[in-house]
Structure 1
Amino acid sequence: MTGTPQAPADEAPAGVIRTLRELPRPAIVLLFGIALNRMGSFVALFLVLYLTGLGYSPAQAGFVLTGFGVGSIVGTFVGGSVTGRFGARVVIVWSMLLCGLSTAGLAAVTALVPLLIVGFAAGAFGQMYRPAAATMLAELTPPQRLVMTSAAGRFGLNLGAAVGPLLGVWLAAAYSYQVVFAVNAVVDLLFALVVLLVIPAGAGHRAPEDPAAPEDPAAREDPAAREDPAAREDPAAREDTADREDTADREDTARYRDLLRDRRFLLFLAGMFITAVAEVQYQSTLPLEVQQRGYPTALYGAVVALNGALVILVELPLTTLIQRFSMRATVAAGCLLLGVGLGLFGLPFGPWVFILGAVVWTLGEIISAPSIGAYPALAAPTPALRSRYIGALSTCQTAGWAVGPSVGTALFEYVGGAVWLMCAGLGVLAYLGMRAGVRDLVPR
């Protein structure tokens, strides 16, 4: 990995303590709110168990869960669009309010078709806030701190993901699945209330002339592509350029066709989609692999626990170092390691190969994920397009996670270990795509 040019001391990458200390209060509140919301999100974990407990077949329960997943894809896409039009705060509040009502509805209806509709709505509104929250964090965070802020946000999400299932299991055992969904709904409503009362209206909206706002991506590549020398020397040309940028920044109707012209960002999105297809195999296909080899289910649990523990314990301190390297190199290398680590699960050796694969896969996640989370906000050519770039990332990841299980389990059933060879191959493809697509942006 090659280093980026040295930044001034006050703009240099900082550790997590300094980053959090320098963030405005709305950003801190948002980070805590995201972690709390993740801790109280139970629908995807317990929906199948709840429905089979009502007497539905596994296939019918899976059908409703699929509706929830489709809603999640739609929600992330729509979230990026409506955030650009109405603002991040409005979208977060309304999506959490509607998600809370939808989740409560799951405990109130029992017929299959209403369950499918309510499940779709819960998935859509539950994911719609993600592009809005990421957009608000990007607008509240200085660009040179965005990678570390992304890592801090992931720490909260992973901590919530570790604690949430334990809380959900206790609620289900002590009370009922209806109580589980009711608690989920209350947490959503609390998140909406906190954002409404604590984060002021207009928080995170940068004025177009703010020098910290992203510029044309090509102009932020270092050092080859800078602003046009003629525009730099000619005050009239510079003023005309500024006027055009101000007009573009004020546009509420920036459309996805502007994003589709950014071919390098499309390569980044393609890399994220195939990385997500590979990554989700640890949920769908890895337990089948462990079972087929005759190992106890505890081995699968140990692999997943090792991944979660390493991310929680190592990612934040390691990001302090990683953020000093080229963003292109960290994203590309991380995606490669993630695919190769998953590919190791297919090697015909003892149980230790699963531990080795988990370590390599997790290292790839730790190296790439904070930069991936920060990249769309930095790559967007104007603030008006920022939420759409972020929403496009979320949509591609969610689509990959939705498609991956079907592809992986089918390969596992008919071609055996080919699924792990596929993961390694997808890692190589993602590496090549990220090397070609990710710009080495200089945060300004």
Structure 2
Amino acid sequence: MWLLAAGVFVNAVVGFTFVFVFLYLTGPRGLGAAGAGLVTGIGGIGLVAGNFTGGWYGDRFGHRRVLLGASALGGLALMTLPLLPTPALYAALPLAQYASGVVRAANSALVAVTVPEGARRQAFAVVRCASNGGFTLGPPLGALVATGLSYDWLFVGDGLGTLFFALWTARVVPARGAPRTSAAAPDGGRGRGGILAALRARPAVPVLLGAILVADVVYRQQYFTFPVFLADHGQDVRAFGFVIALNGAVILLLELPAALALRARPPLAVTGTGLVLVGAGYGALVLGAGLASAVTMMVLLSLGEILYKTTATAYVADQAPEHAVGRFQSLYAGVSVTGTVLGPPLGGALYAAAPALLWPVCAALAAGAGAALIGLSARQARAARRHAVRPSPETGSRARAVAG
């Protein structure tokens, strides 16, 4: 598990192309803002699609094998991007993003099948800390590469890092850690009815996925409308960079201790509390666009992210039947990045039409999603208590006999 997290860290350090891809398209490639937005938007769709399907491939072929194949494909695609003519980027970039999404889902499924239930929150926290640590180092390194060499070398470095991740995973993850589909599954783990039946038997999972979908659209506003909001109120890009860096610092400092301290707490309640904190963070922006409000927003948002992302990922893994671990992880992984596609148009449209409404709406949506999960957790706890104190027919009969 620790070795896999080390590979994630290295891959995250060199995974800097997505930060600079818009600048690359509008700079060396000469596209206008509209054309660059179209290419990156199609790439985002590829990323979401890869997250939704990666776990399905893993249940069929084995999660380790899928991770290796997708990493190799993604690495080669990234390395060839600078060599392609500009029109080919409309297909090549989504392909690379699709492979990246498959890798993300397969990696989550590998963690789920490798780590036993009860320790998954801590395991996912380790992987997230490794990824965030790499992301903290990656953008400054990418800026040095782009300015000192060229943007083309960003893609070469990212591609080589992705290929390294494939080789590293092959070396440190045993094949037995990613079993094929369980033969005990009535449909071999592949049928459409199988996954729907599994979700119907676990009604809390669709509720959680719906809450995460709403929350992710809100959460992603920090990357889209939030910097525009700061710029419109006189804050320059340095303020945005500082606030975003603060997000990584809080996560690196507190995520692992929080996972350990809260591992015995009800997961839906912890996740719901995290979403409420995300809502509170955006609510802080109602007070203004000063640096103090922005810092307060990001601290609350980071605390909410610590609580909800790791816990929700582990909960979905714990709820998954053995033959559908990958597909459950794909459902969560896909939903958890849907905001990258839905967030910009929805947030941008609302900000353009009614700027003062954006942050109250974001706060209400995230807090409402969190309250729904907290309420569901409370109902589950009450039902468990009623079930625990209700005597079975045999116990009740014996009690009446003794009393008689």
Q: TM-score, normalised by structure 2?
A: 0.88
Give the corresponding residue for 1:86: 61
What do residues 49-78 of structure 1 show as CA deviations (whole Å, max 9, x unaligned)? Answer: 112222111211111111110100111111
SS at match of 2:265: coil
Question: How many residues matched?
Answer: 376
Give the corresponding residue for 1:70: 45
SS at match of 1:276: helix
1:295 Cα deviation from its structure 2 partner:
2.7
Residue 323 (str. 1) matches residue 263 (str. 2): yes
Aligned-partner residue type, residue 296 of structure 1: D
- Gap change, CA 1:150 and 1:249, over 3 Å in 2: farther
* Alpha-carbon contact 1:264-1:436 (below 8 Å) kept: no
- Gap change, CA 1:311 and 1:400, over 3 Å in 2: same
Give the corresponding residue for 2:221: 281
Give the corresponding residue for 1:366: 306
Let me know the Cα RMSD of the aligned residues: 2.1
Residue 179 (str. 1) matches residue 174 (str. 2): no
What do residues 351-404 of structure 1 show as CA deviations (whole Å, max 9, x unaligned)? Answer: 322222222211111222221121111011x21111111100111111123211
Aligned-partner residue type, residue 86 of structure 1: F
Give the corresponding residue for 1:8: none
Give the corresponding residue for 1:6: none
Residue 376 (str. 1) matches residue 316 (str. 2): yes
* Alpha-carbon contact 1:139-1:206 (below 8 Å) kept: no
* Alpha-carbon contact 2:59-2:181 (below 8 Å) kept: no
Give the corresponding residue for 2:329: 390
1:278 Cα deviation from its structure 2 partner:
0.6
Alignment of 1:328-367 (within 5 A): 328-348=268-288, 350-367=290-307
- Gap change, CA 1:436 and 1:385, over 3 Å in 2: farther
Distance 1:334 1:206 in 2: 34
| Counterpart among 45, 49, 54 of residue 29 in structure 2 | 54
1:298 Cα deviation from its structure 2 partner:
2.5
1:348 Cα deviation from its structure 2 partner:
3.4
1:28 Cα deviation from its structure 2 partner:
2.3
1:37 Cα deviation from its structure 2 partner:
1.4
Aligned-partner residue type, residue 177 of structure 1: Y
* Alpha-carbon contact 2:243-2:295 (below 8 Å) kept: yes
Residue 251 (str. 1) matches residue 188 (str. 2): yes
1:250 Cα deviation from its structure 2 partner:
8.2
Aligned-partner residue type, residue 378 of structure 1: D
- Gap change, CA 1:31 and 1:350, over 3 Å in 2: closer
| Counterpart among 249, 263, 274 of residue 203 in structure 2 | 263
Distance 1:293 1:197 in 2: 51
Structure 2 unaligned regions, length at least 5: 385-404
Aligned-partner residue type, residue 292 of structure 2: W
Aligned-partner residue type, residue 100 of structure 1: G
Aligned-partner residue type, residue 403 of structure 1: L
Give the corresponding residue for 1:45: 19
Residue 435 (str. 1) matches residue 374 (str. 2): yes
Residue 161 (str. 1) matches residue 135 (str. 2): yes
Distance 1:43 1:254 in 2: 37
Distance 2:108 2:269 in 1: 23
Q: Percent identity?
A: 28
Distance 1:73 1:206 in 2: 24
* Alpha-carbon contact 2:60-2:180 (below 8 Å) kept: no
1:271 Cα deviation from its structure 2 partner:
0.4
* Alpha-carbon contact 2:81-2:89 (below 8 Å) kept: yes
* Alpha-carbon contact 2:12-2:134 (below 8 Å) kept: yes
Aligned-partner residue type, residue 266 of structure 1: P
What do residues 201-234 of structure 1 show as CA deviations (whole Å, max 9, x unaligned)? Answer: 22243997xxxxxxxxxxxxxxxxxxxxxxxxxx
Give the corresponding residue for 1:415: 354
- Gap change, CA 1:321 and 1:260, over 3 Å in 2: closer
* Alpha-carbon contact 2:42-2:94 (below 8 Å) kept: yes
Aligned-partner residue type, residue 248 of structure 1: A
- Gap change, CA 1:207 and 1:387, over 3 Å in 2: closer
Structure 1 unaligned regions, length at least 5: 1-26, 209-245
Distance 1:369 1:392 in 2: 14
Give the corresponding residue for 2:338: 399
Aligned-partner residue type, residue 104 of structure 1: M
1:100 Cα deviation from its structure 2 partner:
0.9
Distance 2:181 2:32 in 1: 54
| Structure showing the higher helix proportion among its residues | 2
Aligned-partner residue type, residue 257 of structure 1: L
Give the corresponding residue for 2:75: 100
Distance 1:291 1:197 in 2: 47
SS at match of 1:79: helix
| Counterpart among 230, 236, 241 of residue 301 in structure 1 | 241
Aligned-partner residue type, residue 185 of structure 2: A
1:109 Cα deviation from its structure 2 partner:
0.7
* Alpha-carbon contact 1:140-1:204 (below 8 Å) kept: yes
- Gap change, CA 1:57 and 1:350, over 3 Å in 2: closer
What do residues 232-289 of structure 1 show as CA deviations (whole Å, max 9, x unaligned)? Answer: xxxxxxxxxxxxxx72278232433235524321111110011101101111111111
1:43 Cα deviation from its structure 2 partner:
2.7
What do residues 279-308 of structure 1 show as CA deviations (whole Å, max 9, x unaligned)? Answer: 011111111111222233322222212111
Aligned-partner residue type, residue 132 of structure 1: A
* Alpha-carbon contact 2:59-2:180 (below 8 Å) kept: no
Distance 2:367 2:45 in 1: 28
